[in-house]
Amino acid sequence: MNYWIFIIPVISAFIGWVTNWVAIKMLFHPREPKKILGITIQGIFPKRQQQFAEKLGKLVSDEFLSFEDIEQKISSPDNLKKIMPMIENHIDDFLRNRLSVEMPVISMFIGDKTITKLKSAFMTEIELLFPIVMKQYAANLKTELDLEHIVIQKVAGFSSDKLEEVLYQIMSKEFRFVEIIGAVIGFIIGLVQILITQLTM
């Protein structure tokens, strides 16, 4: 028996590992288009980065972070309740301290009861006005701020080196698993080749 035949699974495993390793590297490399034997080759992410940016920008603006969501969030009564104490303190400080500086004559005729009534009236108006102002602010923001365009610009301008580094940090175990699977499948194919060879001899 030719015992050299048993090296076939090892060679097949090595080929399987190298193939998958090259496939993973080709996700990011080469960064720029290169012609090899008349065929233009470029890494998948660098080649599709602009398309990926456009799709992601559309997805973020439509699904993940729409201005409608922002409008509902900033104009919700719950958020108003959270900031009302701060507004009330500010109004109280203005009526008791700053008003005497800005309008000393008027402040002379304003006592604690009047301050309490004025503060209450101001707070009532603010509660009514706040949702309207916030909705108008969100509408203006939507006109002035193109969220989809911002995401596209950021992703399209993202460094390929940085993208590779981030993905390797997140998926290093998965990439290694893919390489090992390639080796395992290659080894199994090598064993099958030996079995077929032995059966046909």
Stretch 81-87: mean pLDDT, rounded?
84
Residue 201: the pLDDT is: 65
**Residue 102 clears pLDDT 70, i.e. is over it:** yes
pLDDT of residue 1: 54
Element (H, E) at 39: strand 39-41
**Averaged pLDDT, 121-128:** 86
In this predicted model, which residue has the larger pLDDT, 177 or 5? 177
57 or 64: which leads in pLDDT: 57
Indicate the pTM of the whole model. Answer: 0.54
Check: CB of residue 20 under 8 Å from CB of residue 179.
yes
Quick one: tokens of 132? 């309207």
Whether the per-residue pLDDT at 18 is higher than 90: the answer is: yes
Q: Which residue has the tokens 């006109």?
A: 143
46 C-beta neighbours (distance < 10 Å), count: 18
Tell me how many domains the chain contains: 1
Instruction: List the domain range (segments joined by +) for residue 86.
Output: 3-200
User: Quick one: what percent of the chain has pLDDT higher than 70?
Assistant: 92
Give the whole-angstrom CA distance, residue 119 versus residue 93.
10
Instruction: Determine the pLDDT at residue 34.
Output: 83
CA distance 48 to 46: 6
Residue 64's pLDDT band (boundaries 50, 70, 90)? Answer: low
Greatest pairwise CA separation for the chain in angstroms: 115
pLDDT at 19 (0 to 100): 93
How much is the pLDDT for 65? 64
How far is it, in rounded angstroms, from Cα 97 to Cα 101?
Answer: 7
Averaged confidence pLDDT in the chain: 81
Rounded CA separation 34/47 (Å): 11
Return the pLDDT at 180.
92
